[in-house]
Amino acid sequence: MNQLIPALLVHDEKTFRDRVSLMETDFPVLQIDVMDGAFVPNRTWFDVNVLRRLKTSAKFELHLMVMDPGRYVEETSDISSVFRYIWHLEAPIDHATQITRVHALNKEAGLAISPETPIDKLAQYTKSLDEILIMGASPGFSGQKLQPQSIKRAAEIHSRWPNVPLGFDINVNSETIPTLLAAGISRFCAAGAIFKAEDPVAEGKRMQGLL
């Protein structure tokens, strides 16, 4: 099933709560962008205790743009609303062990891949992944320009591993969605296109309608 996933890239608690409240009724899955200022040059707000106490109908995937994704997995492992973790293939960790750990928690595991990383590096993990998240540009900031080769990379990844759901992040909007669909993307993570719109919910619904 194709799905639009609003991405919450925020720098304070109020914005986080406001965006969850705004989107939860119409979009059952929301992505929380977590940046540590080390793996990427940006840092986002993230408070595990706020998330643990949050009353919401939404389910969350954590997009962990961090050096140590295992830390965030452990901190949030008891939070039922968190059901999927996506971290970067470029992170300096033992990915196989981390995937096994996430599955032992009865949660989903995904790997994100940046534009400069060879696709072949995914091969040893694909049989155990619940998602591959393709980055349309280097991670760290919302609103970046889409790198054209990322579309070709998406199509190649889909061709090689057609049974693994593909997500796409960066510059997902009503103009790029048709091309991404044709490349095999089924999960569309959008931040700026939604939250910079005059009516974020209406724009999200419009984009969802293209899927």
Q: What is the pLDDT of residues 76-89, one digit of tens each?
A: 999 999 999 999 99
| The Cα angle at residue 168 between residues 164 and 174, in degrees rounded to 5 | 130
Q: Is the pTM of the predicted complex or chain greater than 0.75?
A: yes
d(CA 160, CA 120): 10
- Per-residue CA distances from 205 to 143, 173, 190 (Å): 19, 12, 12
Q: Report helix, strand or coil for 5.
A: strand
pLDDT digits (tens, 9 = 90+) for 105-158: 999 999 999 999 999 999 999 999 999 999 998 765 555 567 678 999 999 999
**103, 129 in Cβ contact below 8 A?**
no
Cα separation, 121 vs 95, whole angstroms = 11
C-alpha to C-alpha distance for 208 and 23, rounded to whole angstroms: 13
The distance between the two most distant Cα atoms of the chain, rounded to a whole number of Å, is 43
Quote the Cα angle for 103-169-84, to 5°.
20
- Percent of the chain residues past pLDDT 70, beyond the cut: 96
CA 96 to chain centre: 19
